[in-house]
Structure 1
Amino acid sequence: MSFAALPSVRGRIKADAPLAPLVWFKSGGNAECLFEPADRDDLIAFLKALDPEMPVMALGLGSNMIVRDGGVPGVVVRLGKAFAKIERIDEVTLRCGGGASGILVSSTARDAGIAGLEFLRGIPGTVGGFVRMNGGAYGREVQDIIVSCTVVLHDGTVEEWPAERLGYTYRHSNLPEGAIVVEAVFRGIPGDPVIIGTEMDRIARAREESQPLRSRTGGSTFKNPPGHKAWALVDAAGCRGLRIGDAQVSEKHCNFLLNLGNASSSEIEELGEEVRRRVQDRTNITLEWEIQRIGEA
């Protein structure tokens, strides 16, 4: 990609940009172009002027993602601090930027005495990512709290999508490819900040005790099939601790894959496929990837 072919921006733009440092697995190739817009207007102007054939995808904290070793064609948009602002609309409603983390949203809700958003403390991602994927944890999902979201489409058009338009199902929404969530409105219920904080602490402890949070991982790897827990199926298929190179199925929580040091993304993905094969052979259940796998092998 030639920089001459790219629209001018006020934010930061870089060609052939390494993505491994930006994702939790610390593996994978480069983005053909990485763009961090200065603000919403900068993003809109860039997309309006961009070649409509150029692929576009958003990147949050990179927590639920395998970037393949061949890198990502087109433009990767990373929403920085300009998109991490949170505003209280009324007693129980927050307007949150697409770059705000789950921890920041839940902590802001706690301080405002808004209950019902505590589960976001257990989602290691940003608003943009968990709105797109109907992220969930500890018995709650984004569809339980979202009022609407604002998206910038591939052509720079801005649309507000009410909750019902998102068509949420398990870890899925109707948002089109290339749409970037720049804002979402969440609504909870009145609550006591002390009680809310206690529940958030419980969630944090539960995650620490059950998940390999201090490892290079991508979070929950496979969706829970109806009536089953993915980790239990993986365990029953004898995959706990299974390795390919430096890629390993976590022994602490076997729905997590780990990069023990120098695993390539292809090894991590190959390990996931081997787990899927073994579970299929043993149970006739097909595990579906929850982790996004992007780019070229």
Structure 2
Amino acid sequence: MMATQRKTESLLDRLPVVRGRYSANVPLAPITWFRVGGPAEVVFRPADAEDLAAFLAAKPADVAMTVIGVGSNLLVRDGGVPGVVIRLGRAFAAITAQGDVLETGAAALDLNAALAACTEGLGGLEFLSGIPGTIGGALRMNAGAYGGEMKDVVLQATVLDAAGQVRTVNAADLGFAYRRCGVPETSIFLAARLQGRRADPHAIGARIEEIRRAREGSQPVRARTGGSTFANPPGAKAWELIDRAGCRGLVRGGAQVSKVHCNFLINTGTASAADLEALGEEVRRRVFESSGIRLEWEIRRIGAHGGAGAAVGGRE
């Protein structure tokens, strides 16, 4: 029996009994927008919040844990992700309205939250339609686009800590900053309450359509991409810095800097995760040489480099 098989079976033997489902050696490339990367050692799909809480409370402390959403702003390295990858399913995707507040599960798609708000006549949440991914990921990185950010609309978030304890955290205590929040990486977002305002559903729908057209006109939305690659530095725009550094269209293996929007990396069809990450690092190097500004990754990079690379945990 191969060593990797023994390792996986040993991990499954060590994990607590759950009502959800464990799967071993699960390919992750098909569920990421880049369509690259190695497998997860084990994927856990909890039945509900109680099942997830029980898992966290009983999980061996030395077992690595990574939470991923729909893989929209994620680069899984070629060596795969060791430990347990948690994916939240339908039980975490409910969306309901209570007055002017939209209550959303962490696994709800940002677009679905915007559309639900439209149906309910709740304005102020249209910007979510321009953010690929889930509410949980949007909370984790204080996602924003088209004039709005999560910090502008979040009232409360429900969080599950590393010990399996559920907490309700008010917006002021979430520690929102540009493209990040202060909630510990070991905690998992379960749900959020978002503040809307009464508006004409037709006007809301028109704004959502405007955002859709703007995205399609300015971003490579039909390419294998991970969305915005680098965060905007203070007082500057990442794409402008990349363009000035001569990186538009730059190629590394099967990876390319988009010619449509040069803060997007593209898998042209044959890229490895190593190609994409190396291209991103080359862009950072050239931008630093030309401007003195060091770009910071906005895309989450997780897992082990191909071969003997070290594992790096993360979330999306």
Q: Which bracket does the TM-score occupy, shorter chain normalised?
A: over 0.9
CA contact (8 A) 1:55 1:178 kept: no
2:278 aligned with 1:273: no
Query: Is 1:142 aligned with 2:161?
Result: no
Supply the distance in 2 between the matched residues of 1:55 and 1:146 (Cα, whole angstroms).
Answer: 29
Contact (CA 8 Å) 1:166, 1:173: kept in 2 or not?
A: yes
1:177 and 2:198 matched: no
Shift of 1:4: 1.3
- 244-253 or 6-15, which moves further after superposition? 6-15
Distance 1:162 1:54 in 2: 30
Q: Cα offset for 1:151?
A: 1.1
- Tell me which moved more, 122-131 or 174-183: 174-183
Matches within 5 A, 1:86-125: 86-90=95-99, 92-125=100-133
Aligned residue for 2:54? 45
Query: 1:211 matched to which residue of 2?
Result: 219
Provide the C-alpha distance between the structure 2 equivalents of 1:185 and 1:57, rounded to a whole number of angstroms.
Answer: 24
Gapped regions of structure 1 (runs ≥ 5)? none
Match of 1:234 in 2: 242
Q: Decide whether the 8 Å contact of 1:15 with 1:33 is kept in 2.
A: yes
Question: Equivalents in 1 of 2:186, 2:83: separation in Å?
Answer: 11
Structure 1 equivalent of residue 72 of structure 2? 63
How far has the Cα of 1:276 moved from its partner? 0.4
Residue equivalent to 2:34: 25
Q: Between 244-253 and 69-78, report the one with greater CA deviation.
A: 69-78
Q: Could you tell me how far apart the structure 2 residues matched to 1:251 and 1:193 are? A: 36
Letter in 1 for 2:25: D
Q: In the alignment, is residue 5 of structure 1 matched against residue 28 of structure 2?
A: no
| Aligned-partner Cα distance in 1 for 2:181–2:22 | 29
Counterpart residue number, 1:222: 230
SS of corresponding position for 1:203: helix
Q: Secondary structure at the match of 1:295?
A: strand
Q: Give the CA deviation at 1:53.
A: 2.1
C-alpha separation in 2, matches of 1:170 and 1:257: 21
1:178 Cα deviation from its structure 2 partner: 2.3
How high is the TM-score relative to the length of structure 2?
Answer: 0.92
Instruction: Choose from 282, 293, 308 the match for 1:285.
Output: 293
Deviations 1:237-296 (A, max 9, x none): 110110011000000110000001121101100000000000100111111100011111
Paired residue for 2:83? 74
**Paired residue type of 1:217:** T
**Cα RMSD for the two superposed structures:** 0.9
Question: Match of 1:185, SS?
Answer: strand
Matching of residues 193-208 of structure 1 within 5 Å: 193-208=201-216
Question: Which range moves more in the overlay, 236-245 or 50-59?
Answer: 50-59
Classify the secondary structure of the residue corresponding to 1:27.
coil
Query: In the alignment, which of 257, 260, 281 is matched to residue 268 of structure 2?
Result: 260
**How many percent of aligned residue pairs carry the same amino acid?**
53
Name stretches of at least 5 consecutive residues in structure 2 with no aligned partner.
Answer: 1-7, 306-316
Divergent runs of 4+, >6 A = none
| Alpha-carbon distance between aligned partners in 1 of 2:14 and 2:97, rounded to the nearest angstrom | 40
Aligned to 2:309: none
**Separation in structure 2 between the aligned mates of residue 265 and residue 125 of structure 1, nearest angstrom:** 20
Code of the aligned partner of 2:141: M
